[in-house]
Structure 1
Amino acid sequence: MSKFAIGDRVDKATDEHEGGVVVAVFPTDDGNFRYAVDMEGYGALQFLSEEKLVVHRV
């Protein structure tokens, strides 16, 4: 089961200022998940692994 779901607000674990919304979840061949995240202010999707994301901080 994936840690995040479509519609979840997330932040990049390495950068507190970059956040967005999960728009797709993809299972990988090794049993992990990758996420397509619509990053705020970029106008493009970023594909990130689960360990690179954290729950959005308010």
Structure 2
Amino acid sequence: MIELLRSESPSIRPEMASLACEPYISGCIRDCWAEDPDMRPSFKDIRVKLKPMLQGM
């Protein structure tokens, strides 16, 4: 893992192609993985993005 982090690899994020979830969830995950920390959503933004998960509860 340390060697991978030291390498010039652009990203070590896992592939999401096989992830079976709603598009708003995978979109939120991708937003949280932004390389630039300033581009990542705040916890408040994450709660708003994931609010549809609470429907029907």
TM-score (normalised: structure 2): 0.19
Larger RCO of the pair (alpha carbons < 8 Å, separation 6+) = 1
User: Could you say which structure has the higher strand fraction?
Assistant: 1
The normalised TM-score by structure 1 is 0.18
Larger Rg: 2
